[in-house]
Chain A
Amino acid sequence: MCTYQTETVAIEGSGKGFPAWFPVTAATVCYDHPQHASAEHTLNLDFLNPARGPSARVAVELSAESARALAEAILASLPAG
């Protein structure tokens, strides 16, 4: 949480937060201290809609191993572009 080395990507899609789905327009990615997960560092991925305020956020904190597996699964699932 204190390195602030964050990658920001413009995205297009939807995310489900509380209380409902909302359009997501940005994603931030960093490997840093987590808020909740039990590890010193995690891959922190946020899907955001800044126009709707900071609570319009779908957040996950993943172990490095989990994050790599997820990234590979995402790439494997996509049609060749």
Chain B
Amino acid sequence: MAQVADALTAETIRIAGHGGDQVPAYLAQPLGEGSFGGVVVIHHAPGWDRWSKEVTRRFAASGYLAICPNLHFREGGDAGPDDSAAAVRAAGGVPDKRLVGDVDAAARQLRSLATSNGKVGVIGYCSGGRQAFLAACSLPLDAAVDCYGAGVTGVVPPQAPFRFEPIIGLAPQLSCPLLGLFGAEDRFPSPEHVAELEAELNRLGKTHEFHSYEGAGHAFFCVDRSSYRVEAALDGWARIDEWFGRYLNG
């Protein structure tokens, strides 16, 4: 882990995302001298909410430049995160191409900061877990973390649970080491979905590390939801700190 920052700033800025759209993004950064790695936080399906911003500040407090773009602002506008998330859900989710453009803009924003060491990782939760994998296969990044992202692998059944297609075919383009954190009781992604992803990364010789937690289902990191599982979350955070410390510092 990088140095711990007691002093930090956090604010909402605008970045030129996909299509040149001025995307709101929550930026948190340690104060003072230093050369810091960067983390793009991809928020979960419930939206650009308080918890997502808390996570972003947590990375700044751990010594990283951190940014969380609002992936739902185009459908949601000034509405709250729950209404915005409902609008995105009704629209079928965030388009993959748009996601990549917005994450690219967020990563560039971090690298442009005077205190950046030039390295940027990505982490995503829930739908953001799949999107973290998508970004890591589409952009030059230094580390990635997929927290229980569904829809990376699996077969789309007739009663399609996803409108988006699995993206395991992008795995050869994975640009950086991938940490995966999953709940053993999750159904999306199921243990079988996770095993399929791990087998493909093994086959391709891609650097990765997966952990699945017994007694945990989906969204076990979310402290404000009944899905929160403290043991899984604490171990998961330790794995994340170690992963980003290994690949984003220096």
Contact = CB atoms under 8 A, between A and B. Distances in A.
Interface residues of B, number: 35
Interface of B: 44-46, 75-77, 79-80, 82-87, 89-90, 92-93, 126-127, 130, 150-151, 159-164, 188, 217-219, 226-227
Nearest to B129: A2
Contact of A54 (B44, B45, B79, B92): B79
B77 A54 contact: yes
Contacts of B75: 54
B76 A6 contact: no
In this complex, which of A2, A5, A46 has the most chain B Cβ atoms within 10 angstroms of its Cβ? A2
A32 B163 CA distance: 14
B79 A33 contact: no
24 contacts: A1-B46, A2-B44, A2-B151, A2-B188, A3-B150, A4-B162, A5-B160, A6-B89, A8-B90, A28-B89, A33-B218, A35-B82, A36-B82, A40-B217, A40-B218, A40-B227, A46-B90, A50-B87, A54-B76, A54-B77, A54-B84, A55-B83, A57-B86, A59-B86
A53 interface: yes
Given A1-B127, A28-B90, A30-B89, A35 B80 contact: no
A59 to B, nearest CB: 7
A53 to B, nearest CB: 6
Interface in A1-57: 1-6, 8, 28, 30, 32-33, 35-36, 38-40, 46, 48, 50, 53-55, 57
A6 B163 CA distance: 9
A5 B83 contact: no
A54 B83 contact: yes
A63 to B, nearest CB: 13
Contacts of A53: 77, 79
Of the listed residues A6, A54, A59, the one surrounded by the most CB atoms of chain B closer than 10 A to its CB is A54
A2 B90 contact: no
B45 A57 contact: no
B90 to A, nearest CB: 5
Contact of A33 (B77, B84, B130, B219): B219
B73 to A, nearest CB: 11
A6 B218 CA distance: 19
A53 B75 CA distance: 9
